[in-house]
Amino acid sequence: MQEILQRYEDLPGCIMNTGARRIFFVHGRSLEKFRDFRDCLDTLEGIELVDFTDFTPNPKLEDAEKAAGLAGSCGLILAVGGGSAIDTAKYARLKNPGLPFVAIPTTAGSGSEATRFAVLYKDGKKLSVTDDIMIPDAVVLDARFLKYLPEYHRKSSALDAFCHSLESFWSVNANDESRKYSSKALSEITAMLEGWPSTYDAGRMLMASYTAGKAINIAQTTAGHAMCYKITGLFGTAHGHSAAMCCRVLFGWLCKHSNLPLLRDIASSMSCSSPEEAAEKFSGIFSRMSLEIPRASWNDIEELSSSVNPERLKNFPVNLDHETITALYREILKVS
């Protein structure tokens, strides 16, 4: 059972309980801003921290393999950061399954701290790694880590969490447990995004993101994520931004081309009277965030349509052929 801590001051006790004397510490360089947290770690007498920051925002497999090798001489893995830091640490845990693993997210969106998935890149291509052993033993959900999150990444990470709750809800792999998580996260996140930014609450969003992560850990993501990765690669938009562009169009498309009962459950979770109203609410949320929609060429559209991960598409409740995917991309992006 995963242990949840809500204050980083509780971390030293958690670490001491493991008996580890050497900690493999994966983190981004932004941790320099959290001097109080580093001071908290310094209270651990007789504990050596082995810092690892040698990874990119889209972590490469070779960097994760290097991390795994260095972690082998330590007694515990600690990851502090966004999805990239946590995914790098997850791979280190995969290769060193006997090591305790603690994760502290500094964004409220990826939900990586709750899942068995890690996303790495090999030769520029996305590689998904899946294993239950990569789920952290303990997670610290402390809203103070979101203090320095840039506004754009605050928006994109919140939208990523929204997309996780939405896609896991309509996934063909969903069950009663995952939909309970999806519904709870969707309700919380919608309420916080409706009046953005005044209704945003960092602590509440951190927990909602974690809950959405619990949902995708069971149900997995679907077409929205299958279609968004190449958008990020081509146009440099943040992952959550790309996912939201795809999901807002897919939501409307589902309303027009299916009569799935679960769409009414989604609408209810979003405090809407119909799926169409819920899809419109999502579009309104995206519009109010003033996020740019990239302009794509016809060649870009064809490249995007040919790049979609077929495994993720299988999780979508309606079959999408190449022609439909191409038409969807034309709606998702500005085409010139």
Q: CA-based diameter of the chain, in Å? A: 62
What is the count of structural domains for the chain? Answer: 2
CATH number at residue 202: 1.20.1090.10
Those residues whose C-beta lies under 8 Å from the C-beta of residue 145, and which sit 6 or more positions away, are 8, 34, 37, 80, 104, 105, 106
Q: Are residues 255 and 134 in the same domain?
A: no
Q: Are residues 198 and 217 in the same domain?
A: yes
Segment 247-265, tens digit of pLDDT:
999 999 999 999 999 999 9
- Domain range for 124 is 3-146
- Other beta carbons within 10 angstroms of residue 63's beta carbon come to 18
Q: Are residues 248 and 110 in the same domain?
A: no
- Which structure tokens are listed for 232? 């990020």
Domain boundary residue among 122, 146, 170? Answer: 146
Q: Are residues 307 and 279 in the same domain?
A: yes
Instruction: Look at residue 235 and tell me whether its pLDDT is greater than 90.
Output: yes
Query: What is the reported pLDDT for 166?
Result: 98
**3-class state of residue 332 by DSSP:** helix
% of the chain residues with pLDDT over 70:
100
Domain boundary residue among 97, 113, 146? Answer: 146
Domain boundary residue among 123, 146, 169? Answer: 146
Q: Are residues 59 and 136 in the same domain?
A: yes
Q: Are residues 114 and 7 in the same domain?
A: yes
- Other beta carbons within 10 angstroms of residue 331's beta carbon come to 14
Instruction: Look at residue 58 and tell me whether its pLDDT is greater than 90.
Output: no
Angstrom distances, CA of residue 79 to CA of 21, 108, 157, 162 = 16, 15, 18, 24
User: If you average pLDDT over residues 160-167, what whole number do you get?
Assistant: 98
- Which structure tokens are listed for 294? 């990239």
Instruction: Look at residue 30 and tell me whether its pLDDT is greater than 90.
Output: no
Instruction: Look at residue 92 and tell me whether its pLDDT is greater than 90.
Output: yes
The verdict on whether omega for the bond into residue 197 sits within 30 degrees of 0, i.e. cis, is: yes
Q: Which residue has the tokens 């640490």?
A: 89
Q: Are residues 155 and 170 in the same domain?
A: yes
